[in-house]
Copies of this chain bind each other. A is one copy, B any other.
Amino acid sequence: METATLSAQLAAIVGAHHVHAADRLADRDTGFHPENFDAGLAVYPATTGQVAQVVALCARHRIPIVTHGGLTGLSGGAASQTGNVILGLRRMDALLELDPLAGTVVVEAGAILETVERAANEHGLSIGIDLGARGTATIGGMIATNAGGMEAFRNGSMRSRLLGIEAVTPNGAVLNDLTEVPKCNEGYDLKHLFCGAEGTLGIVTRAVLRLTPATAPTTTLLIAVDSAASALTITRACASAPAIDLLQTEIMWRNYATTVAAEIGLSHVLNFCDAPAYLLIELSATDPDAALDTLFTDPAVEAVTLNAVIAKNEKERAEIWRIREESFIVDNTVPHCQWYDISVPLSRIDGTITAIDSRLNALDPTLGIWVMGHLGDGNLHYTIGNGKPQSPERQTAEKRASLAKHSDPEKLRLMRAIKAAFDPDGIMNPGKVL
């Protein structure tokens, strides 16, 4: 179909003002991937009904659809190309219902994480998931990518927060599975298929999320350690201390922490100890002083603590967190670097980093690596680079050096069978996941 005809038909569904051609998209911030707007045609529906009509129209003409949320993803799930239609959910950002007694919230998929969190906070509740991109990331995007973040170690990743979904399937039908109960065994759990599927099985339009009691931190610590194993020892001591509610446990390796701190003028925060790694612990305790006394007199903790500082006020707390959160500032020092997001069994974190280090060194000794991540669940973020642009072949080699991708043939066969069953014409976010 001609682009003009398609635009007109899309405009008939959502209104001309909400169909954006290449000229209007050219000015937009592409978010974290340069190809996000390459489709050159975007449609912004206001209701699930409009999403269904857009999908049905595209399905009839076999036009591929790429769904857009907040565009904060690092792995290119929102990248598009000429001939695709971008379906953006930014107009569908309503918080539809918050039930404080049941501890649930129903939102549209375009709702922003921070907005939902603030609404929950008003009732002493929290959505129980947090990301650096909280001001931009959408609930729908977090479902599509099964987002993890800093609270995943205690509350699970996005799929653990998800009670129900409404989704538009690739034929333009609406799947209503807006369950509000945690355990619902009425057959196959479809929401868990949509979660993490990067929009390749359909478009999530609404979600029911489980809320958790909000717990304010009483204490923020930065602890210098020699390894992830040492940091884990401290984390486990906190987690099993009855007087301590462990809220955050983040780890930053020296190269990452010193680079970011220098870039944002906070090197003094790390002056207390030059260490191989820094553990950021946040906890809640009714008697914080007593809790810390117990913790640091535990011989196991004492043995692995090189040094530690406690944030004395909100300013010091904010400084510690800025070093952890302003990760993309690494790009300033090391242009053209590549970001990775991996999960490693906790007992193998140190070994994995050593192995990546030596493989990279063998590939090119000028390549550096900057690593930080969520210690509670072994979800690490790192960037690799030497300041020079890398060829696509080189990027692939770096990726291979960093990851040994394990894919089981039967797993791949079943994933393909699911994709074919849901989306036989392959119009939903083609080329992603499979």
Q: Which residues of A contact B (CB under 8 A)?
A: 99, 101-104, 124, 145-146, 148, 152-153, 156-157, 159-160, 169, 173-177, 180-190, 192-193, 195-197, 201, 213, 215, 229, 232, 236, 239-240, 242-243, 245, 284-286, 343-348, 377-379, 405, 407-408, 410-415, 417-422, 433-434
Contacts and interface: CB of A to CB of B under 8 A. Distances in A.
Contacts of A190: 411, 414-415
Closest 8 CB pairs of A and B: A192-B192, A181-B343, A417-B421, A102-B346, A102-B347, A175-B410, A101-B347, A421-B421
Contacts of A193: 188-189, 192-193
A176 B409 CA distance: 9
A156 B161 CA distance: 10
A182 B232 contact: no
A242 B291 CA distance: 13
B407 A186 contact: yes
A156 to B, nearest CB: 6
A433 B232 contact: no
Given A183-B377, A417-B422, 16 more contacts: A102-B345, A124-B240, A152-B183, A156-B156, A159-B189, A173-B410, A175-B414, A176-B408, A181-B343, A181-B379, A182-B378, A187-B196, A188-B415, A189-B196, A414-B421, A418-B421
B243 A286 contact: yes
* Most chain B beta-carbon neighbours within 10 Å: one of A185, A411, A417: A185
